[in-house]
Amino acid sequence: MFLTTQLAHGAWLYWDTNNTTSGLGTTAGTWATGTTTTMRTVAPADGRTMIDGTLATTTAITTTTSDTLSFGTLNLALSGGATTVTVSGTQSIGNITFGLAQTNAMTLTGGTINFAAAGTIYSLAPSTTQTISSVISGAGTSLTTGGQGTIQLTNANTYTGTTIVTSGGTLIIGNGATGSLNGTTGTAPRSSLAVAP
């Protein structure tokens, strides 16, 4: 994975609804505190190249603002078509990545995602829109989005820092009825920011 923004250092976690068998399973599930069934950890050197789905964890995982959560990888995708991940309560994270192979559209919905002071959301699959309808929060959080895909934020987000679109990415704010940002915005060359009509 080639990201231009420095990621927070912590655990690199993978969404995996069948984490005891090969592959990543389906997308649908609940992101909750202390989960053992929908996430797993692997060493970053393994995870950034290829994972085979057999490295399971039995340790309860609670994400922090130092962690990165990946939905799909460079060459493995979650199955099940366009599906939903439900965010339970408030979950903290430093970075979210939708992998290059993750061409199925996903929606993260419900609850609040509390980002680190310098959070990132990357969608690497071209021609795919990944939607976050959960509230995005963070005291002073600056959010960078990017990748070849599209990210759509559809809730009234409460973080107050700058929002930057980079790496050729597209960020859509709203869905025609809801969605907002606080703070300032900016775009890098070949990147775009749009407000849904």
Confidence of residue 107 (pLDDT cuts 50, 70, 90): very high
The confidence score (pLDDT) of residue 47 equals 38
Q: What value does the mean pLDDT take over residues 5-23?
A: 66
Provide the whole-model pTM.
0.84
Task: Kindly list the domain boundaries of the chain, sorted by start residue.
Answer: 12-195
Token pair listed for 92? 């903290």
**Contacts (Cβ under 8 Å, ≥6 apart) of 2:** none
State how far the Cα of 55 lies from the Cα of 53, in Å rounded to an integer.
Answer: 6
The confidence score (pLDDT) of residue 52 equals 35
Tens digits of residue pLDDT in 145-184: 989 999 999 999 999 889 999 988 899 998 877 888 887 8
Compare 28 and 4 and report the one with higher pLDDT: 28
- Pick the range with the lowest mean pLDDT from 65-79, 135-149, 157-171: 65-79
Tens digits of residue pLDDT in 30-39: 888 877 666 6
